[in-house]
A and B are shown apart, each in its own frame.
Chain A
């Protein structure tokens, strides 16, 4: 079956946009093909700095014919109706229509046959629309045509469109169309400097090969593989090791059509700068990789650059040029670092009084004060030294005002640690300067040093309570203050360090420290708790665990100890995986269902203890006895926070519940017996509430 080759050749497409653009092109073209009845076999899209390319194979040469029936007027209808029908169906006379009988009478039926069109004609119609409506994040106009309305918008000036369609065995046809004065053809161009000439292409196979001969690697993954392999080999050959960096690799592969990897050197004196700062300098400004010495694990004075050209001098000029650019950059970084070291972190703090954190939440200085107070309060709860936690909270934000962090925001925290160490702070205090930002996401490391934990919790809880108080909660996809991440951070800090903490108490205390007064201060801690419950559910779902169990535990009320919630959810999950658990859940639900039906019917609830005198059957008595025992046993276990034991106790309820439903008719003819049995059912429900609200568990 025929295949399509499409290439959009332009000036340099921003690296960060290429992957998505290739994907959009594939999706838009194939969706449209399918919508036009052209079901294809496969498609693949590619991007280089100067081109987007797409190949779709196995496209039928023609659309299938379409037959539709159209119901017309009744036989004998007025002429106007008949004429309208003939016009709409394209029939010459009523002789060409069928007559169909249905209960309402005889009707004319017109059969409309729409013959399928050639795929190439369909393509010529859909491709220009896709090009004109392409979803670039930012697009522009250019050239003489931009003087008139309706000119094409593209990411950068578009120069040529190659579009061919045909069978593998034949010379393909050009899919003929024109967009903004650019006519399709089968001519593209090679590497900007090494093979700039025109290339005539037929289909994907020769297109990719000819581009390669013209020094263009079409496939971004292939470019990445080359850069990665060459960079590793080059560094390994000198006894070093490449510092891998996927984000940089993605970007660099979008800046070259023909990657040529080379290694440069900088003066060893710059190794006095922290590794992370060297890396940020070289990575952000120069898009080069850094290299480490495997013996020390520290950076060495080398860097790996990726050029877009095989230079005629073997790359000497390029390497020395890059070295000349990197030198003053590192010189600046060294200067910043050394300047920073001259000022103590605490001496930077007064400046925070001038810096607004949020207009409703006051200055950074006020925020730092709040975090200090909270850190001191949380410290004893997490086993941290109060003085150290206070000191760490006092200094933790100071590095935001250093030159290095001003230049490279991504090393915030880390620089605080370096500067704190340099001025002789305690190790835990220095570590907290960095680690109080952690964990930044589900994959980030969770600090374990109690000082870091105390400051990290204080920082995150202050943020959450503050933004809750001024009603800046996340909505839908909007979470500008990263509050979801902060809440997940709190959850992970507590769960992974097995901390015991009443969240509502901590939140209430944080709230009291705010200068702004929340409209509903009473409700805030419980609102916030519900937000934590949501985050916990999301996290469990992402781990593949049962998130509905969170609801079942939270529904018990009064649950604000995250660690206990997590433990209870875990135990409950395990219990529900057993046969006893499943059956007990089924039994409890059955009891609940019967109860809710009968409660509705009688317009009353069936609370209160059942009357033992009214039990007539052995199963009733057995169940009542079991409930009493299980309730006591499970409550005792819960009190000891032994949730596994509580669940084992619950398991004992299963046989009597099963036997009860097997043998006992709840809706007895004697209303008193009926009421008593319903009360017994209610007792099952309340017994299980010792561990969770079973009605919130999904089947």
Chain B
């Protein structure tokens, strides 16, 4: 931890200071610090800076905060740590550096978790995303019995082998910050690190939003529109993928992988909303997941035929 920081910027006092400390740490490791992707998504992994950039031979090191939207996890602001919107901090390094575990532990030190007094453990947890056609091996990282991060070596994304393999770290920011600040309710987190009148809590920022979105997600989200939107996003994705092959479909170079992938992200979020509204049956559920996966795979294929995806 940086001792020169003013009190209100210290990661153990301030949620924003906590995020800034992580960003600064990973910037120092050579990561580009991106801003959140401007679309709704269920996890930071969906960000094209992870999903697509994990594919292809080119080195890529990035870190960013990504809001995660999990419509089903909304609890109208009444649960101390479950929300339909929360932040993930995502790090991706390709190829995975040999000292990624050490870097991760140093990043914990940078946010005030001292490995001399805490019990930090790497516990088996293999990661799989059926919607992204992706899997990897790794761990959930425990601090004193609490899962604080997910650590994964990507083996496959969008149905393609990762060569080379990227290492991915995902920090659950609120949970970690609650631990470091010593609060038991997420809405009690000190957001800006100030005291008295100047103090802004996580609740001040997000409690109303949690209540409103829970209402929306469970009760009012327009399902007819959402079903339509799913179909539209799926069709648009296919259309952009087809149109993107250079020289009329020679399948050698693709020019629209990113816009097509946006539609895949869109379809996935719309599906999550429909799921939260409870209008998708168990059997249908599987087929929707499969449809999103097919889009993700096709986008992955397009991506490896782009310049950043490593096409010659």
A interface with B by C-beta (< 8 Å)? 11-12, 14-16, 49, 138-148, 155-157, 159, 193, 255-256, 286-288, 305, 307-309, 311-313, 317-318, 320-322, 324-328
Contacts and interface: CB of A to CB of B under 8 A. Distances in A.
B124 interface: yes
B117 A311 contact: yes
A140 B136 contact: yes
Contact of A193 (B115, B137, B139): B115
Contact of B139 (A12, A308, A322, A328): A12
Q: Is the interface of B mostly helix, strand, loop or mixed?
A: loop
B164 A147 contact: yes
Given A140-B136, A146-B164, A311-B116, A325 B144 contact: yes
Given A157-B153, A288-B145, A140 B121 contact: no
A11 B80 CA distance: 34
Nearest to B167: A142
Contact of B184 (A159, A305, A308, A324): A324
Contact of B165 (A16, A49, A141, A320): A141
Interface in B137-155: 137-139, 143-146, 153, 155
B113 to A, nearest CB: 10
A143 B95 contact: yes
B117 A143 contact: no
B123 interface: yes
A248 B4 CA distance: 45
Contacts of A139: 137
19 contacts: A12-B123, A15-B123, A16-B124, A140-B136, A140-B137, A140-B153, A140-B165, A143-B95, A143-B98, A148-B163, A308-B119, A317-B144, A321-B143, A321-B179, A322-B145, A324-B144, A324-B146, A324-B179, A325-B145
Nearest to B147: A325
A572 B139 CA distance: 58
B118 A317 contact: yes
B117 A313 contact: yes
Nearest to B95: A144
Contacts of A159: 98
Interface in B91-108: 95-98, 101
A321 B182 CA distance: 10
B162 interface: yes
A143 B119 contact: no
B121 A308 contact: yes
**Which bracket fits the contact residues of B?**
35 or more
A142 B139 contact: no
Given A15-B124, A193-B115, A318-B118, 19 more contacts: A12-B121, A140-B136, A144-B95, A147-B95, A148-B163, A157-B153, A256-B121, A288-B145, A308-B119, A309-B116, A309-B119, A311-B116, A311-B118, A318-B144, A321-B119, A321-B145, A321-B146, A324-B146, A328-B80
B120 interface: yes
B117 A147 contact: no
B163 A146 contact: yes
Interface string B61-82: 0000000000000000000110
Nearest to B283: A356
B116 A312 contact: yes
7 closest Cβ pairs, A-B complex? A321-B144, A14-B124, A147-B164, A12-B122, A322-B145, A307-B119, A146-B165
A12 B57 CA distance: 27
B126 interface: yes
Contacts of B120: 193
Contacts of B126: 138
Nearest to B116: A312
Nearest to A141: B165
B165 A143 contact: yes
Nearest to A355: B282
B109 to A, nearest CB: 11
Contacts of B115: 193, 309
A252 B72 CA distance: 33
Given A138-B137, A146-B95, A193 B165 contact: no
Contacts of A143: 95-98, 164-165
A188 to B, nearest CB: 16
Contact of B145 (A144, A147, A305, A313): A305
Given A312-B116, A318-B144, A321-B179, A11 B164 contact: no
Contacts of A49: 122
B179 A146 contact: no
B57 A147 contact: yes
Interface string B124-137: 10100000000011
Contact of B117 (A11, A308, A317): A317
B15 to A, nearest CB: 18
Contacts of A11: 101, 122
B164 A144 contact: yes
Contacts of A138: 126, 137
